[in-house]
Amino acid sequence: MKRHIDLREMSQTKRDPLTHLENEDLMPLPTPLDSPAKDHAWTPLSQTAKNKYECGLDDTCAITVPQPKTPEEEKQLVAKFLSGLEKLFTKENNWTFLQPLLLTMEHCTGCQTCAEACHIFEASGGNELYRPTFRSEVLRRLYFKFVDGGGLLSAWQHGDIQLNWPLVARLAELSYRCNLCRRCAQTCPIGCDNGLVGHELRKLFSQEMGINSKECHDSGSMLQLKVGSSTGMNAEVVKDNISFIDEDTSEKSGIEFRTPWDVEGADVLLIHNAGEIMAWPENPGAFGLILTMAGINWTMSSEIAGYDSINYGLWYDDAQFARVAIKHAQAAQKLKVKKIVLGECGHAHKALSVIADRVLTGELNIPRESGMTLLREIVMNGKIKFDPSRNDFPVTLHDPCNMVRLMGVVEPQREVLHKLCPKFREMEPHGVDNYCCGGGSGFAIMSGNNFQDWRFHVSGRKKLQQIFDAFSDCIGPETPKYLCAPCSNCKGQFRDMLAYYDLWEQNRILYGGLVELIVNAMVDVKPGFIEWEWH
């Protein structure tokens, strides 16, 4: 691995990647994954991908930017990038984040405190390309040179940079080597925010050049706006699926219930990440059962996007973000519900509760609440009887960044686990100091080319280490263990990463949500709601 990568190499015209990662270079993992030689070999990028797309950054290719066919096309793309760069620093185009962006551009001292906090930088073995300040420094130099006036004095003060197509293409890819978890921002003594830089770069590429992750855009926010959900489910399909889930859950639990749809004036509009309905049906089933047993007056909505809390625009595009957030609020407005409750999805929590807060004005400003607080209230108020001994297996909790560090919902889920799971143990660090699962900012759904190799080997590596450490006293396969991840995207990452390392077969580590643990401990439910099977 090349240890030092000079910033100027971003502009190099050779298409060779700037870095190459080997297992030996990465942060060591605990036993039994401690041998780099036994670790999976990286799948090389196909020659087709190399010939077709811009793959000049590292060993992978996340967003498949097509290679321009002519020098003229390159020039046009660079001009377009420059135009987007200017727009990023105008209030008309970017009032949403202009103030924090300018502060980050103008005041970083380059102290590298952020690097110590970044799980990707650490897991990569300190690869310069993944240092949080690397991409920020590129944008910073571009800002001072092309937006703030530039000139010799500026270059002396802020550094110079050569703008060309190779740099633009690499920067686009590099904006997708950050989970946007903002652990770096938490530690910056000045308050600069490299996570924001990643977000703003993605925005520039998407809103000006139409360059984005296909999974987040074409089959993400666009599909959601078209049919109602990024899973592709329209209202009829989702109702059918939930109906099956209700039947299954009723049969499995021994308690009959049906999900109410489109109930006007309900106290609670529950919005799940619709991925749960497709991939982890036990989660919406358990949720429905709990709300019904608790006597909550709740409903789901069949309005467009009203049954899918996903809002991928959060990660790359303000326009798409606002459109989906408005759809969510309109669904609640139409039903005249008292509040929206968000299911187990971290980014949906932050998107609708925090980021959309200043977009949803007037009648659209309907109260939004975390599912964690409602579940805590239900578990603690004594209406439902629990038997914690049913959860007598080791449980640890993953803190979804969007819900915890970026929204401050820390304790409710812990109070539930402390009450219902006698063998609950924390990861270290945890709470607002947690590490990202490695699937944040869309990575969990991105698997084009060999990108999965990168997100398992690099972005998920620190979390993998934490999971092993949390279960170090019972890591063998004789003890089934439960990794509680109250977030669909995190679960997507865990599903793929645990399977990649075969940790269910080898170590009996199962992942799942919080509601499954709650239902598993309910006295009135038939024992064994959690099925110790890989899914």
Partner 1 sequence: MTIVVYAAICLGLAIFIIGCVGRAVQYAKLPIHLRWEVYPVPHEEPSRVAHGGSYFEDSDWWTKPRHRNLGGELRVMIPEILFLKGLWEFNRRLWLPSFLFHFGLYLLIGTAVLVGIGSGLPLLVPSLAGGNLWIALAALYKITGYAGAILSVVGALLLLLRRATDQDLKNYTKPADFFNLLFFIVAFAVVAAGYVLRPSGSAGIGDVARGLFHFDAKVAVDGLFGTGLVLASALVAYIPFTHMAHFIAKYFTYHLVRWDDQPNVRGGSIEARVAQYLTYRPTWSAAHVGADGKKTWVDVATTNPTQEVRK
Query: Structure tokens of 360?
Result: 């949803």
Binding residue (CB under 8 A) for partner 1 from 45, 55, 57, 117:
117
SS3 for 40-97 is: CCCCCCCHHHHHHECCCCCCCCCCCCECCCCHHHHHHHHHHHHHHHHHHCCHHHHCCC
6 counts as binding partner 1 under rule CB under 8 A: yes
Query: Minimum Å distance from CB 246 to partner 1?
Result: 25
End-to-end, the C-alpha distance of the chain in Å comes to: 36
Interface residue with partner 1 among 60, 124, 133, 493 (CB under 8 A) is 133
Q: Which is nearer to partner 1, 335 or 406 (CB)?
A: 406
Residue 83 or 297 with smaller CB distance to partner 1: 83
Q: Of residues 29, 335, 404, 446, which one binds partner 1 by CB under 8 A?
A: 404
Q: What SS3 class is residue 337?
A: coil
Contacts (CB under 8 A) with partner 1, residues 224-283: 225-226
Which of residues 68, 260, 431, 448 is near partner 1 by CB under 8 A?
431
Closest by CA position to 323, among listed 332, 335, 314: 314
Tell whether residue 209 is a contact of partner 1 (CB under 8 A): yes
The Cα 149–Cα 357 span in angstroms is: 35
DSSP assignment string, 237-301: HHHHHHHHHHHHHHHHHT------BS-TT-SEEEE--HHHHHH-THHHHHHHHHHHHTT--EEB-
| Contacts of partner 1 in 450-469 (CB under 8 A) | none
Q: H or E element: which one contains 321? A: helix 318-335
Query: Which residue among 167, 269, 395, 407 contacts partner 1 (CB under 8 A)?
Result: 407
Within residues 69-98, the interface with partner 1 by CB under 8 A covers 80, 83-84, 87, 91-93, 95-98
Q: CB-based contacts of 217: which residues, under 8 Å, 6+ apart?
A: 206, 312, 316, 317, 320
Name beta bridge partners: 424. Answer: 395
Q: How far is the CB of 293 from partner 1 (least distance, A)?
A: 17
Structure tokens at 151: 């000139």
**214 touches partner 1 by CB under 8 A:** no
User: Which residues in the 476-515 window bind partner 1 by CB under 8 A?
Assistant: none
Closer Cβ to partner 1, 108 or 503, answer by number:
108
Contact 183, 118 (CB under 8 A): yes
**Positive or negative: CA dihedral 173, 174, 179, 180:** negative
Given the complex with partner 1, which of 387 and 433 has the nearer CB atom? 433
Question: Using the rule CB under 8 A, which residue among 1, 2, 7, 334 binds partner 1?
Answer: 7
Q: Which residues are CB-contacts of 245 (< 8 A; sequence separation ≥ 6)?
A: 259, 277, 281, 284, 285, 288
Residue 18 per-residue DSSP state: S
For residues 349 and 390, the answer to whether their CB atoms sit within 8 Å is no
CB of 76 to partner 1, least distance (A): 12
Q: Is 108 in the site for partner 1 (CB under 8 A)?
A: yes
Which stretch, 22-30, 65-73, 153-161, 460-468, contacts partner 1 (CB under 8 A)? 153-161
Q: 28, 254, 367, 429: which one contacts partner 1 (CB under 8 A)?
A: 367
List the x/- string, 158-197, binding to partner 1 by CB under 8 A.
xx----------------------x--xxxxxxxxx--x-
Count of residues that bind partner 1 according to CB under 8 A: 98
CB of 114 to partner 1, least distance (A): 8
Q: Which of 82, 278, 296, 410 binds partner 1 (CB under 8 A)?
A: 410
The 3-state secondary structure of 459-508 reads: HCHHHHHHHHHHCHHHCCCCCCEEEECCCHHHHHHHHHHHHHCCHHHHHC
8 A C-beta contact, residue 442 and residue 216: yes
CB 201 within 8 A of CB 45: no
To the nearest whole angstrom, how small is the minimum distance from the Cβ of residue 245 to partner 1? 26
Site stretch for partner 1 (CB under 8 A), options 281-289, 312-320, 441-449, 521-529: 312-320
- Which of 281/440 has CB closer to partner 1? 440
36 versus 408: smaller Cβ distance to partner 1: 408
Dump the DSSP string for 86-153. Answer: HHHTSHHHHTTTHHHHHHHHHH-----HHHHH-HHHHHTTS-GGG-HHHHHHHHHHHIIIIIS---HH
- If the CB atoms of residues 50 and 334 are measured against partner 1, the closer one turns out to be 334
Judged by CB under 8 A, the residue of 46, 99, 162, 297 near partner 1 is 99
Q: Which of 358, 382, 478, 533 binds partner 1 (CB under 8 A)?
A: 358
Residue among 99 and 243 whose Cβ is closer to partner 1: 99
Residue 498 CB contacts under 8 Å (≥ 6 apart), including other chains: 483, 504, 509, 511
Minimum gap (Å) between residue 261 Cβ and partner 1: 23
Q: How far is the CB of 522 from partner 1 (least distance, A)?
A: 20
Beta carbon nearer to partner 1, 32 or 100:
100
Which has the closest alpha carbon to 304: 367, 268, 262, 263? 262
CB nearer partner 1, residue 111 or residue 523? 111
313-342 binders of partner 1 (CB under 8 A) = 317, 319-320, 322-323, 326, 339
Q: Does 215 engage in binding with partner 1 (CB under 8 A)?
A: no
> Taking CB under 8 A as the rule, does residue 103 contact partner 1?
yes
Cα–Cα distance between 144 and 140 in angstroms, integer? 6
